[in-house]
């Protein structure tokens, strides 16, 4: 049992780390504060091939293993979690197209998605359907050789840049069980009736936009039905979300690492009563707990990612990684703020941004309470075991 990265993974992480240290960390706080879109960072991620993380090599992508995939989101989130969102839903959707698309769909989209020439996202959530995806109200009615789509989606990352946008719809609203009537359409966002209606204000997760979109009788060619067969949309979405949870868990590790680094550095520099505060046992206990929990979260994420690489079922493991790592990020952000004292509440230091960013990972890709239910149901039913 080897808990170390391979030489190739280590070299990949070193490259990512240099990129983040040089290009993201110096500008993150100012650009986040002013609401500046990180266009220059996006261009550099294109040059590095990061838009092709989950695109197979035969279509021009990197086709990385899932541990390397997790390293990307860990390192970028260590610098600025919002930037990770730009390639997060893009990567999940690329994987979905690669795994479930027709050959024609793969050839049409994947090579350009891999280079970042075109980008994508994922249109699942609605105002009345987040965790309960079967409760979506967006419909797609077949009219000749086109579907006519009507509905609205919320919290869409890359909404202003994605084209195409995979959107979960009901092609048969009367189907029972409901998931059998659900499909995914690859929608051209330049189509008449497709509107980005508003940007959603957020506590954190700045740098990338989160939008509401309206689909008002948008006509979509029938050959844009993902996989070419109706009724498989729910399965396609859920299989992609397993990768999405590793993405979110990795972001959480990155935020926790940034919080730990900030707390450790500050504790060495700040003096009180003639000593660095790192000399005080209360601070040492916080640092020790943060480091231990951070490393435990990291190993749990790499474990889940390794299982995904083996090709077996990994929904419970990715759920565990997402659950634990996000809770660690939330706690680490708060503890880093406490180590900083009053300065931790100031925008002069990054910990207040980490404190605002951390809660997203407890909510995104399924809330942590849902993760607990997913894990527990499998353990109780005996379909999965631990130890």
Q: In angstroms, rounded to a whole number, what is the distance separating the alpha carbons of residues 387 and 32?
A: 43
Collapsing DSSP to helix, strand or coil, 206 comes out as coil
Radius of gyration of the chain from Cα atoms?
A: 21
Strand partners, 182: 170
The alpha carbon of residue 209 and the mean position of all alpha carbons in its chain are separated, in whole angstroms, by 13
Collapsing DSSP to helix, strand or coil, 6 comes out as coil
Whether 257 contacts 78, CB under 8 Å: yes
**∠ CA 326-130-230 to the nearest 5 degrees?**
120
Of 191, 185, 169, whose CA–CA distance to 222 is shortest? 185
**∠ CA 359-169-69 to the nearest 5 degrees?**
45
Whether 123 contacts 213, CB under 8 Å: yes
Active-site residue, 74 included: no
**Catalytic position from the list 75, 209, 335, 365:** 365
CA contacts within 13 A on the Cβ side of 73: 33
Query: Cβ contacts of residue 7 below 8 Å, gap of 6+?
Result: none
Whether 207 contacts 37, CB under 8 Å: yes
Whether 129 contacts 136, CB under 8 Å: yes
Structure tokens at 261: 């680094």
Q: Which residues are catalytic?
A: 365
């Amino acid at each position: 049992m080897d808990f170390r990265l391979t030489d190739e993974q280590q070299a990949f992480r070193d490259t990512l780390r240099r990129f983040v240290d040089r290009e993201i960390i110096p500008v993150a706080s100012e650009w986040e504060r002013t609401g500046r879109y990180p266009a220059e960072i996006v261009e550099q991620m294109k040059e590095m091939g990061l838009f092709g993380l989950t695109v197979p090599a035969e279509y021009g992508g990197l086709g990385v293993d899932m541990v390397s995939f997790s390293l990307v989101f860990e390192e970028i989130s260590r610098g600025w979690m919002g930037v990770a969102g730009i390639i997060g839903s893009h990567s999940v959707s690329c994987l979905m197209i690669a795994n479930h698309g027709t050959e024609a769909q793969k050839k049409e989209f994947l090579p350009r998605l891999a280079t970042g020439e075109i980008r994508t996202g994922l249109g699942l959530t609605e105002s009345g359907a987040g965790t309960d995806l079967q409760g979506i109200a967006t419909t797609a009615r077949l009219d000749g050789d086109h579907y006519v789509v009507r509905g609205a989606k919320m919290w869409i990352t890359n909404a202003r840049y994605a084209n195409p946008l995979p959107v979960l719809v009901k092609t048969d609203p009367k189907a029972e069980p409901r998931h059998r009537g659900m499909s995914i359409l690859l929608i051209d966002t330049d189509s008449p009736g497709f509107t980005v209606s508003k940007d959603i204000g957020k506590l954190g997760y700045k740098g990338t936009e989160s939008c509401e979109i309206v689909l008002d009788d948008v006509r979509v060619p029938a050959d844009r039905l993902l996989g070419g067969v109706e009724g498989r949309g729910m399965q396609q979405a859920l299989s992609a979300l397993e990768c999405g949870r590793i993405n979110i868990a990795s972001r959480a590790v990155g935020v926790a690492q940034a919080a730990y680094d900030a707390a450790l550095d500050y504790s060495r520099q700040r003096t009180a009563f003639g000593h660095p505060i790192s000399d005080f046992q209360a601070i040492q206990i916080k640092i020790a707990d943060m480091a231990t929990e951070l490393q435990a979260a990291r190993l749990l994420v790499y474990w889940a990612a390794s299982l995904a690489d083996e090709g077996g079922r990994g929904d419970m493991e990715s759920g565990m990684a997402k659950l634990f790592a996000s809770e660690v990020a939330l706690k680490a952000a708060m503890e880093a703020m406490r180590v900083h004292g009053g300065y931790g509440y100031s925008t002069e230091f990054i910990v207040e941004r980490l404190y605002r960013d951390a809660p997203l990972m407890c909510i995104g890709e399924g809330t942590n309470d849902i993760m607990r239910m997913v894990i527990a149901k499998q353990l109780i039913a005996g379909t999965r075991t631990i130890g």
